[in-house]
Amino acid sequence: MKIEIGLKQLCDAVTTVARVVASKPQLPVLSNILLTAEPAGIRLSATDLEIGMSIFLPAKVEEVGKTTVPARVFLDYITSISGEKVLISEESGKLQINAGTYKGQIQTIGADEFPILPNGDGDGVELLAEKLSSTLGKVIYASAKDSLRPVLTGILFEMGENKLKVVGTDGFRLALCEMKIKGGEKRNIIVPARAVLEMMKLSKNEKVKLLYLEESKQIVLKTEDSVLMAQVLEGNFPDYTRILPKNFALTFSVNREELLQVVKSVQIFARDNSNVMRWSVGDGEVSAIGEAGDKGQGKASCPAAIDQGESSSVVFNAKYVMDFLTTSSCENVKIGLGEALAPGSFQEEGDEEYLYVVMPINA
């Protein structure tokens, strides 16, 4: 193989695919990036067998071919040199990298040992990339970071005809968001949160294609110049419909920025007390208190427009509430509180497609 390509363009692509390189590989080749020189450019691919990614870059190709190169050494080297163009070739099992006075040589491993990744061809649904990224961003934070139940570390993709619903939960809170799609078969799959984060980063074009490969149990996201694949998580996602609140003792609306400032101030004290934040709602305001034992106490309040009910008291995890408020971008938030230890509901005012549910603390 022998190609000439822009150095910055190459660095950006290698930085991206290197995110999915195996940190503790089962095979030495999984520490590598696959370089495939095609007539119109070069394709860079990486995988840890759970998540895989490939990116195509236009380039001047003098000789086609493919090989694999250690991701860390390759990335560190090309980001340490300077110049507009870089010439890459393979000779006698070594990758030659030349850019002006910079000349590097890196040992390779044969491309035949690298796993075959899906190319994104096949029937799927086309989505608006910006909408997909926004929708996923509204639920990803609610998934479990580490759990004895692996399904909770993923996001449920509930697909139906002309609709995609995504759900994340860690057992203490739940985020749900819907978006319209064109077509689609009815199917529920659980996608690792790590793969969802990569979907959000790659969704920059006007349209992306999402498809599911039944035989290999992989979800694939294809953009104009990249392909992302992920093995779906096996198991049963919790029946989230059972905890969605239907009736409220109190509902009210509040300015998101004002409530966020209230929660931020009391969370400074609440974080040393398991994030316990006590709310009192009534008389046209919502008040919050956070205590930190001997370290002190924080109190704050802001106006609230009560729609239904008179007053209510509840204890929430301050971080959980803050996650919703910082993720949202609306002007006002609509909140519903139930009786005793019933879950609380948070919504962006005027948006019925996005729902956040938090279980109160029994304290």
Q: State how far Cα 219 lies from the chain centre.
A: 14
- Using DSSP's 3-state secondary structure scheme, residue 280 falls into strand
Q: What is the C-alpha to C-alpha distance for residues 325 and 329, in angstroms, rounded to an integer?
A: 8
Are 20 and 26 in contact by the 8 Å Cβ rule? The answer is no
Q: What is the C-alpha to C-alpha distance for residues 359 and 344, in angstroms, rounded to an integer?
A: 6
CB-count exposure of residue 98 (10 Å: 0-12, 13-18, 19+): middle
- Using DSSP's 3-state secondary structure scheme, residue 148 falls into coil
**165 CB contacts (<8 Å, ≥6 apart)?**
156, 157, 158, 159, 176, 177, 178
Task: Give pLDDT, residue 117.
Answer: 93
Q: What is the C-alpha to C-alpha distance for residues 32 and 121, in angstroms, rounded to an integer?
A: 24
- Kind and range of the H or E element at 88? strand 85-91
Residue with tokens 């692509």: 13
- Using DSSP's 3-state secondary structure scheme, residue 243 falls into coil
- Kind and range of the H or E element at 324? helix 318-327
Compute the C-alpha angle 346/347/351, nearest 5°: 170
Are 236 and 127 in contact by the 8 Å Cβ rule? The answer is no
The tens place of each residue's pLDDT in the chain, 363 residues long, gives 999 999 999 999 999 999 999 888 889 999 999 999 999 999 999 999 999 999 999 999 999 999 999 999 999 999 999 999 999 999 889 999 999 999 999 999 999 999 999 988 888 888 888 899 999 999 999 999 887 889 999 999 999 878 999 999 999 999 999 998 887 788 999 999 999 999 998 866 678 899 999 999 999 999 989 999 999 999 999 999 998 998 899 999 999 999 999 999 999 999 999 999 999 999 999 999 999 888 899 999 999 999 999 999 999 999 999 999 999 989 999 999 998 789 999 999 989 899 999 999 987
Q: Which phi-psi region, left, alpha or beta, contains residue 131 (left: φ > 0; alpha: ψ -120 to 50)?
A: alpha
Token pair listed for 313 = 């008291």
Phi then psi for residue 241, to 5 deg, are -65, -20
Confirm whether 2-113 and 125-241 share one CATH topology. yes
Q: What is the C-alpha to C-alpha distance for residues 199 and 50, in angstroms, rounded to an integer?
A: 14
Residue with tokens 């930190």: 292
Token pair listed for 355 = 């729902």
CATH number of the structural domain 244-358: 3.10.150.10
CATH number of the structural domain 2-113: 3.10.150.10
One of 1.20.1090.10, 3.30.40.10, 3.10.150.10, 3.90.1300.10 is the CATH number of 125-241, namely 3.10.150.10
Count of residues for the chain? 363
Task: Give pLDDT, residue 24.
Answer: 86
Global pTM reads 0.92
Distances (CA, A) of 79 to 23, 44, 61: 20, 16, 22
Would you list the domain boundaries of the chain?
2-113, 125-241, 244-358
Task: Give pLDDT, residue 26.
Answer: 87
Q: Write the DSSP symbol of residue 293.
A: G
Query: Helix 71-78 vs helix 7-17: angle between axes, to the nearest 10 degrees?
Result: 150
Q: What is the C-alpha to C-alpha distance for residues 130 and 202, in angstroms, rounded to an integer?
A: 10
The one-letter amino acid at 228:
L
- Using DSSP's 3-state secondary structure scheme, residue 345 falls into strand
Beta strands, E only, 173-311: 173-180, 187-192, 207-213, 218-222, 226-231, 250-255, 276-282, 285-291, 297-303, 305-308
Are 220 and 191 in contact by the 8 Å Cβ rule? The answer is no
Q: What is the C-alpha to C-alpha distance for residues 228 and 46, in angstroms, rounded to an integer?
A: 10
